[in-house]
Structure 1
Amino acid sequence: MKVRTAARVVLLNAEDEVFMLQCRDLGDDSRRYWFTVGGGAELGETSKQTAARELAEETGIECDPSELLGPLATRRVSIQFSTGVLVQDEVYFGMRCMEDIDLDEAMWSDKEKAAITGSRWWSKEEVESSSEVIYPPELPLLIDLVSTGAEPVSPLSLGVPSGVE
């Protein structure tokens, strides 16, 4: 089983809202879900370097990896797409953003351009009460950590869930 290594960023604005992207399954347009900024590691990158690069590519926000809070949490996830299963080890970091995001698809891969269907800021309450599919399910806990600037002594383990994540 091949496991992809990835890093994700819980990006909060001044109102403690989290920025998320909406994605669709390229093989089944009816399957859509929201997720935090992030993606797969490139050869030789640390998790923080991956998170900073993905943040810049997906939002245009550039930062030094040392500016990221964390690691906050880790999880192994099995992602069921219509075309197959992707097993991914994720590391979550946090960051504050005091500016509006003007998404520019120029840095996105062709796959990202085809799959990403929307973006928005969500309050913690909206995340908790939404009927939309949002990943990770523990996102409200991560929002709290970033909101308070609390970095756990060791990353929280978000478990080994399966399904479309």
Structure 2
Amino acid sequence: MTLNPNLRLRRAARIIVLDPEGRALMFRYDVPGRPPFWVTAGGECEPGESFDAAARRELLEETGIIADPGEEIARLTPEFITVEGEPVQADERFYLVRVSEARIDTSRHTALEQRLMTQHRWFTRAELADWPEAVFPESIVTMIEQQERAR
């Protein structure tokens, strides 16, 4: 894995949240000038914050769920442009959390999230694999299936 030294390294924790039916929670972003896209819960680590701590914090802030994110299940290092317009080199660590009900609380969203995160919904794996808008990470179905096999 090669990281681009010309871009700021954006460390982030991403959480795949699965409901009792195995559906994944995704958030839709509508960023002006860009096509809409869907992502898992999660976000950038604060300075000095571990990936595990960021996963726990982001899960609470974005979903209202208090849970131990468990162990890291995957790592991706994509280059992308943040919703603020900054090109970055990401170091994203993924976690998987299973919840007992498909209900979340978005009251802790930041002003930016309130403006750009316009929807959330629970997706089946079939929907994720064939959704007409971009879904990130692109390998989310594979990540979920690997965890199901490991159970």
TM-score by length of 2: 0.86
Partner of 2:54: 50
Runs of 4+ in structure 1 off by over 2 angstroms are: 67-70, 80-84, 102-105, 145-148
Asked whether the equivalents of residues 21 and 36 of structure 1 are also in contact (C-alpha less than 8 Å), the reply is yes
Partner of 1:155: none
Q: Does 1:6 align with 2:21?
A: no
Secondary structure (helix, strand or coil) at the match of 1:71 reads coil
Partner of 1:16: 22
Asked whether the equivalents of residues 28 and 39 of structure 2 are also in contact (C-alpha less than 8 Å), the reply is yes
Q: Which runs of 5+ in 1 are unaligned?
A: 152-165
Amino acid at match of 2:30: R
Distance 1:59 1:127 in 2: 20
Asked whether the equivalents of residues 65 and 104 of structure 2 are also in contact (C-alpha less than 8 Å), the reply is no
Q: Does 1:37 align with 2:41?
A: yes
Secondary structure (helix, strand or coil) at the match of 1:101 reads coil
Amino acid at match of 1:124: R
| Cα RMSD after superposing both structures | 1.8
Amino acid at match of 1:21: F
Amino acid at match of 1:91: R
Amino acid at match of 1:56: L
Paired residues, what number?
144
1:43 Cα deviation after fit: 2.2
1:59 Cα deviation after fit: 0.4
Asked whether the equivalents of residues 69 and 146 of structure 1 are also in contact (C-alpha less than 8 Å), the reply is no
TM-score by length of 1: 0.80
Partner of 1:141: 142
Identity, % of aligned positions: 26
Structure number with higher strand proportion: 1
Amino acid at match of 1:72: I
Q: Which runs of 5+ in 2 are unaligned?
A: 1-6
